[in-house]
């Protein structure tokens, strides 16, 4: 057994490193336990006001890096809605701008 162990790398340092990385991420999310869920809902609500979208065709990804984090939003807009979508994109914005004044 001792000979076998001799060639095997100690596993505790691996456990330690994995935990440190994982917990750093989980603690970040701690203030908003469901940050992604919240972002997803609010972004969908805003875009949905102007363009018809399928909630299942939306992907939101949050990559936390050491210095920079990136938020990736991928929304698929159905083709047949393109015309209506384009129209909606202009008119409501104009309306919104009008309301803001």
Partner 1 sequence: MAQVLVVTSGKGGVGKTTSTAALGAALAHDGTKVVVIDFDVGLRNLDLVMGAERRVVFDLVNVINGVAKLPQALIRDKRLESLHLLPASQTRDKDALTEDGVAKVIDELREKFDWIICDSPAGIERGATLAMRYADTAIIVTNPEVSSVRDSDRIIGLLDSKTVKAERGERIDKHLLITRYSSSRAARGEMLSIDDVLEILSTPLLGIIPESQEVLRASNVGSPVTLSNPLSAPARAYFDAARRLKGEQVSMNVPSETRGIFNRLFARKAA
Q: How far is CA 47 from the centre of its chain?
A: 15
Q: Is 65 in the site for partner 1 (CB under 8 A)?
A: no
Here's the x/- map for partner 1, 14-33, by CB under 8 A: it reads as: -xx-xxx-xx--xx--x---
Residue 10 interacts with partner 1 (CB under 8 A): yes or no: yes
Least distance (Å) between residue 31 CB and partner 1: 10
CB of 27 to partner 1, least distance (A): 7
In the complex, minimum distance from the CB of residue 34 to partner 1, in angstroms, rounded to a whole number: 14
Exactly one of 4, 13, 65, 67 binds partner 1 (CB under 8 A); that residue is 13
Query: What string of H, E and C letters represents the secondary structure of the chain?
Result: CHHHHHHCCCCHHHHHHHHHHHHHHHHHHCCCCCHHHHHHHHHHHHHHHHCCCCHHHEEEEEEECCCCEEEEEEECCCHHHHHHHHHHHHHHHHHHHHHHC
The site for partner 1 (CB under 8 A) is made up of: 2, 5, 10-13, 15-16, 18-20, 22-23, 26-27, 30
């Amino acid at each position: 057994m001792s000979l076998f162990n001799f060639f095997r790398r100690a596993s505790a340092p691996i456990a330690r490193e994995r935990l440190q990385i994982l917990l750093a991420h989980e603690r970040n999310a701690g203030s908003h336990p469901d940050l992604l869920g919240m972002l997803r809902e609010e972004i969908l609500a805003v875009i949905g006001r102007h363009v018809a979208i399928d909630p299942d065709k939306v992907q939101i990804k949050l990559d936390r890096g050491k210095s920079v984090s990136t938020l990736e939003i991928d929304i698929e807009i159905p083709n047949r809605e393109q015309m209506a979508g384009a129209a909606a994109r202009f008119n409501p914005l104009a309306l919104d701008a009008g309301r803001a004044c």
